[in-house]
Structure 1
């Protein structure tokens, strides 16, 4: 496990963050902005559907195998059969050459056994690739409502934070900062002192010391970013972040190519804190409606009562309560 003694999260430790040579919004050697060509939605649809086909075997669905196969998973004609459409029609849908109706997309989603997050992602991709898509509006900074910070500050025995779809931590309470002190002290924070969870995970080798289950954290983080890329396909800042991480981290590239998608997440988080050692925390995320379009996420960490993790979290909370406030009003991106 990376958190124990596995490989470090970045392949180029200490190298400054740069944009991918092929990523949108890149700069020339003279610092001039290149015109943003926008995302290739047809490629996204093709790669996503192909990856979902590859993970299902005919045997799982009771289909005949008809001898050995060159590649794993279902063939296009088998998906078409399960979705009750022609092979040619499905092929054009997968290749992005056909704008499928909602019933057809639903049938394809059922044939590929997509979960709810994957289904929403497929519909987002199809909508973005359609001829009726709206031009993107430029994002603007708005203040996080004071009531959100008050709510976070009231959780004195739980670690809580709000993030945007790009994995920027846009608001947090004092216990979250104390619990994730190595991330806030990392060189990967932006000029406003705001951490980005993805940058920290993939570009700071120290993240493997903080996150005991580093691999699981990496998989979830990339899956959340992919869902956001489907919701907001014209988000230049998100695409630049993806290009930067793809350039600097082989492990990010590998996870991005897997096309995993997550929207909501919950479970167990294991951390190794430099002051209180190991903690096992329960966490759950939920939507926080701060914008009419962008999805913001409130995540709360707490410990099971009566455990050593609860004792350590309380100790950290007591220490954090004596420190100067580090939860100044934060600006987040809105449309």
Structure 2
């Protein structure tokens, strides 16, 4: 599973997308009451995409060699792919066109000091910087307080995917919508695998989660993909209780692959009050830690 063979990924992705579309959804008559395949037949996808049946069969068997962007667009339309799925298909095709290289470890990512200054300047909202592997690379004080359950694991960098799948009881306590979060994590990791198939650390992470979590194996096998986008997260913090937070996830153009995540709440809401309480708690903890350090020094 963790080797991420491109032929296998193409085959499983296309067959899984084909299986979810009933003929009626594609505007096709469903001849005969006993269809032996779930979803569309291969020849129906070929018809919708405007390619020969033999050509589509070759594609679904894992070969996108020679597939033009126009053909990929037609295939994406035939399979009713959403934006993330279309991007993933193009990533898979790009990998197939590129000669396979050795797995390589990416250079260690360090967040620039000026970016940490940006985080620290955001005082009223939790803010943190992460990558596509769900590594937490830098945080402001309020984010450290918010993510204290995730940071309880001494392993660094902290990793939200490991927390979700390898600490499921703590994660279920922390994330109100745990099942939804777990699905999104697996889908975004698969999206990242399409973009960076030779990322050794990503391969190792997927292998670790696959080995240790049956739920991850199920979610990974679904072939679902998702983009990093804005949304809402509902949490139960051990200190301040329920937090319903609006999330903005912003790409950092000068740091490819990194995202700035900022969590906010409308003024006057219970969550805004609880965030202020969390900020006060975090500041008190920081003051005590500083005083203790000075005393011991």
Choose which of 300, 307, 312 in structure 1 pairs with 2:274.
312
* CA–CA separation in structure 2 for the residues paired with 1:200 and 1:142: 20
CA positional deviation for 1:135: 5.8
Q: 2:14 aligned with 1:49, yes or no?
A: yes
TM-score normalised over the length of structure 2: 0.90
CA positional deviation for 1:282: 0.9
Counterpart position of 1:183: 150
Following superposition of structure 1 onto structure 2, how do residues 109-188 of structure 1 map, counting pairs within 5 Å? 109-132=76-99, 138-186=105-153
Q: 2:59 aligned with 1:93, yes or no?
A: yes
Q: 2:230 aligned with 1:256, yes or no?
A: no
Choose which of 242, 249, 257 in structure 2 pairs with 1:285.
249
* CA–CA separation in structure 1 for the residues paired with 2:207 and 2:214: 12
CA positional deviation for 1:54: 1.4
| CA RMSD in angstroms, aligned pairs only | 1.7
CA positional deviation for 1:266: 2.0
More RCO (CA 8 Å, sep 6+) = 1
Counterpart position of 2:290: none
CA positional deviation for 1:97: 3.0
Bigger drift between 117-126 and 314-323 goes to 314-323
* CA–CA separation in structure 2 for the residues paired with 1:78 and 1:258: 22
Q: May I ask how many residue pairs the two structures share in their alignment?
A: 284
CA positional deviation for 1:142: 4.3
* Counterpart contact for 1:144–1:171, Cα < 8 Å: yes
User: Which consecutive residues of structure 2, in runs of 5 or more, have no partner in the other structure?
Assistant: 288-297
* Counterpart contact for 2:104–2:199, Cα < 8 Å: no
Partner secondary structure for residue 284 of structure 1: strand
Cα deviation, 1:174-213, whole Å, max 9, x if unaligned, reads 1111111111113xx42x4x21011000011211100111
Partner secondary structure for residue 30 of structure 2: coil
Describe the shift of the 1:297–1:142 C-alpha distance in structure 2 as closer, same or farther (beyond 3 A): closer
Partner secondary structure for residue 216 of structure 1: helix
* Counterpart contact for 1:127–1:133, Cα < 8 Å: no
Bigger drift between 70-79 and 138-147 goes to 138-147
* Counterpart contact for 2:105–2:201, Cα < 8 Å: no
CA positional deviation for 1:321: 2.5
Counterpart position of 2:29: 64
* Counterpart contact for 2:10–2:63, Cα < 8 Å: no
